[in-house]
Amino acid sequence: MRILALADLHGRKIKLEGRSVDLVVIAGDITQFGGYHEAKRVLAPITASGLRLLAVPGNCDYPGVATYLSEIGANCEERLMVIDGFGFLGLGGSNPTPCNTPNEFPEAELKQRLNRFLAEKISVLISHAPPYNTTVDLTHSRTHAGSRSVRDFIEEVEPELVICGHIHEAKGEDRIGKTRIINPGPGEGIVVEIG
């Protein structure tokens, strides 16, 4: 399965021309502190294309974003969705930041939300927050800003792939054990294959 991995759009529309993919995944921050209507505008090219979409809200997305994602069947936040035999699980929002954004959660709450799925077969975790202590959670000041709860979950469940975002400057790839971790950054995304 070919996946277009995106994150941190912050209100920018994505061009899909020339992309041969089976699925579009967005790991949060679809809007720039927007809600339902901004999400609908940003995602219009994807919904018009007929491509399957899975997404989670980020820390800069207001609740209307999740409402719109649910309306179009794309919201995988705290939902296990199986596509072509691959289990996709989403975790929206982020661990606390110094910016006090609208969709932040304490680590204990993130852990509780994830732990409900420990027994499930998860192929791909879509998490706005990257796992802690990786190259994909390093800020400009070289501080690890990812989520410890996300990292613990990855170590326990060992999904094939994690698509994350949040730390714009940490675009890239890393691994935790056998799990491949992709932070596509705020650009045009990265095409990844699973299976």
In whole angstroms, what is the distance from residue 116 CA to residue 31 CA?
A: 28
Structure confidence at residue 15 (pLDDT): 84
Mean pLDDT (the chain) is 97
- Number of domains the chain is built from: 1
**At residue 17, does pLDDT exceed 90?**
no
Percent of the chain with pLDDT over 70: 100
Structure confidence at residue 18 (pLDDT): 83
Read off the CATH number of the domain in which 56 is found.
3.60.21.10
The structure's pTM equals 0.97
Domain of 16 in residue numbering reads as: 2-193
Mean pLDDT on 139-154:
97
**At residue 144, does pLDDT exceed 90?**
yes
**At residue 81, does pLDDT exceed 90?**
yes
